[in-house]
A and B are shown apart, each in its own frame.
Chain A
Amino acid sequence: MRRHLKSLTGAAAALALIGVAGATPAAAVDLSFYYPVAVGGPITKVVDGMAADFEKENPGIKVKPIYSGSYQDTITKVLTAVKGGDVPQTAVILSTDMFTLIDEDAIVPFDDLAKTDADKAWIKSFYPGFMENSQTGGKTWGIPFQRSTVVMYWNKELFKEAGLDPNKPPATWAELVSMGQKLTKKDASGNVQTWGVQVPSSGFPYWLFQAFTTQNDVVLMNQAGTETYYDKPAVIEALQFWVDLSTKHKIHPPGIVEWGTTPKDFFERKAAIIWTTTGNLTNIKNNAKFDFGVAMLPANKRRGSPTGGGNFYIFKKSTPEQKEAAFKFAKWMTEPKRAAEWAIATGYVAVSSAAWETPEMKKYVADFPAPLVARDQLQHAVAELSTHENQRVTKALNDGLQAALTGAKPAEQAMKDAQREAERILKPYK
């Protein structure tokens, strides 16, 4: 009898639970949110915390943040889902994947969801440098969230040892070469112990190459994403300069330099100057056992660096309520206060000027002014290479760059081959 009673109450409790669980989704809008992690630190915890705060302020919406691997994994998962169903409502994906997502008919523009003037003002609140990769054909398809840019880190101690002013990093290509020559150190048998400068070239060399081309005042593609200019003389010149750093001036390691070990090479004093993402700022701050500086990249005809990183996107296969909720979530996540919080936690560049005016951000940069360099460089920044068939068109350039950097092809030949390949791929989009 007693056992009977127990099971009966158990059943009643279960029924009640089902009742409760069944009631909530009817009232709340569910959002699944895919996000990648591309930098060190407890990112998952930060994102979960932000999502929980958002739910508290917006009781009608349930956000389920789903860690989805690297950027590459994330787009793979999302596009597989688009083809198979069970698509997330919103995700953070590389800004350069905008054309791919449009071509797959996967996303909707933010402008269509902006109802109030405040919504429209919000879309306009970001740095124009970041919006170049978020807009095409007069529509806004992505909202800047975790954005970065390339900056130069230099080891002040090694500068001092080489007889250079430790507070004066190279400001031009010519200075980069002359200082690099002083900084490159060899041991008795002629083997290099410290390289003057190191620019990584594994995996996605096009991104750092874009710094060289921008400084040489040339763009690699048009805004519509249908044309590339890999074989322009100024582009070839920029590549020749990169190749010359190791072959002619002997101040840069030969061959392909691994992206992942570049910060470590810097800590180990194997490289006196490195170029890498602002996303490494927190990592370098925590691990460099010497005084280091952060500066804008040197200029040739002008200053310049590409932007990088991920944007918010909203997916088409969602109900109108979900799209509205996703819009709200993206807006909430990029509000000045949150953008500042996110930038401090990760090292990404805060995406709007208002974020830099928040008291939290002001306090942070007062103690550690390095992030300001990235912000100030934004006025010289250009959009990261992005076209239709993006990954393939980019691969053509990557292959050409690596061929030139490993000495397999001269710079001119490599860029002409890359351009021919890119033109072939982009033919259907003309």
Chain B
Amino acid sequence: MHRTSGVDARVKPGHDGWGRSLVNQFRANIHGWLLLLPAAVLLAAFTHYPAVATLWHSFFSTPKGNRPARFIGLDQYQTMLEDPIFWIALKNNLVFAAATIPLSIVLAILMALWVNEKIVGRGLLRLAFFTPTMLPMIAVANIWLFFYTPDYGLLDQIRGLFGLPAWNWLGSRDTALWCLIAVTVWKEAGFFMIFYLAALQQISPDLAEAAAIEGTGRWTFFRRVTFPLLMPTTLFVLINAVINAFRLVDHVVVMTRGGPDNATSLLLFYIYEIGFKFWDLGYAAAVTMVLLAVLAIVACFQFFYLDRRIHYQ
């Protein structure tokens, strides 16, 4: 400590020393920027530039053959407001998000609490819960396609045991979207469970002991102690769940292709259809901007509102 102050004393508060510290600071800045550069370049090239370019393209008509793109202002957005399928896809996606997010989080917490107990076969159970996460979504969708097959699919065979008639799960507009929701929850819950399990293991056992001495019930302990302490994890999981609710469409492609009559068309799937089936790139850009806006609003809410209300240890 004495030595440090000695060094400080040697730097005379004169023109010379001031200049040197400026150079040092500059050098530190350069170092910092150089360290950030690779990530920044990648982010700019593959995230920021495409986002801005998409916004730009959404103001132009789609070039076709020898007809070049021309500026049409907000026409694409006007079309979108009048496009019934867009509204269906948006509504489906909101239902899909509103169902998959809470369901998979609740299920994840329940599973994590269960496999956090000291029970026989705990490792096996953890593995079983985590298995759906390891499978690719395409494979998952194909497995579930078999479960949902009318008549001889797994679900209908179980229904058959109770004498119930066959049900066309994916071919009926009442159940098709819920079938996809079930697949997504099944796939995601195990993934989120891992985070909760890690968080649960961070919670000090002292708290449980103290609560036990006080005679707290299990539910009160969970509501008053465990759940608040899990909130940082919940925020993280929530962000992931929201993104996935708008990002996962593999199962739509495999299981229903958006049908019957758009009953399972999600926003990203519809964008894919517009972009790569109809080749209407201008319109696809406009719908993409809506998807971006939805995600941005949700992200802002999570970061600026929820984050403040969370207790970090």
Contacts and interface: CB of A to CB of B under 8 A. Distances in A.
Interface of A: 72, 76, 79-80, 100, 102-106, 189-192, 201-203, 253-258, 261, 265, 268, 270, 389, 391-392, 395, 398-400, 402-403, 405-406, 408
Interface string B268-300: 000001001111100000000000000000000
A389 B283 CA distance: 14
Contact of B259 (A190, A254, A256): A256
A408 B261 contact: yes
A405 B260 contact: yes
A162 B97 CA distance: 49
Most buried by B among A102, A190, A203, A258: A258
A219 to B, nearest CB: 23
Interface stretch (B119-127, B133-141, B145-153): B145-153
B216 interface: no
B9 to A, nearest CB: 63
Contacts of A405: 260
Contact of B168 (A72, A253, A270): A253
A284 B66 CA distance: 46
Contacts of A256: 168, 170-172, 259-260
A400 B85 CA distance: 12
Interface residues of B, number: 31
Contacts, number: 88
A110 B170 CA distance: 43
Interface string B169-185: 01111000000000000
Interface of B: 64-66, 85, 149-152, 160, 163-166, 168, 170-173, 256-257, 259-263, 273, 276-280
A76 B276 contact: yes
23 contacts: A76-B277, A79-B279, A103-B64, A103-B65, A105-B66, A191-B160, A191-B165, A201-B171, A202-B257, A203-B259, A253-B168, A255-B260, A256-B168, A270-B152, A391-B273, A391-B277, A392-B278, A399-B262, A400-B261, A402-B260, A405-B260, A406-B261, A408-B173
B171 A399 contact: no
A25 B259 CA distance: 48
Given A104-B65, A270-B151, A399-B262, A406 B163 contact: no
B261 A403 contact: yes
Nearest to A391: B277
Given A102-B65, A103-B64, A106-B65, 10 more contacts: A104-B64, A104-B65, A254-B168, A255-B168, A256-B259, A392-B280, A399-B85, A406-B172, A406-B261, A408-B261
Most buried by A among B151, B263, B280: B151
Nearest to A104: B65
Nearest to A424: B82
A371 to B, nearest CB: 29
Contacts of A391: 273, 277-278
A247 to B, nearest CB: 13
Contacts of A257: 168, 171
A406 B170 contact: no
A414 B291 CA distance: 29
B259 A398 contact: yes
Most buried by B among A261, A265, A399: A399
A403 B259 CA distance: 9
A406 B152 contact: no
A268 B152 contact: yes
A270 B149 CA distance: 12
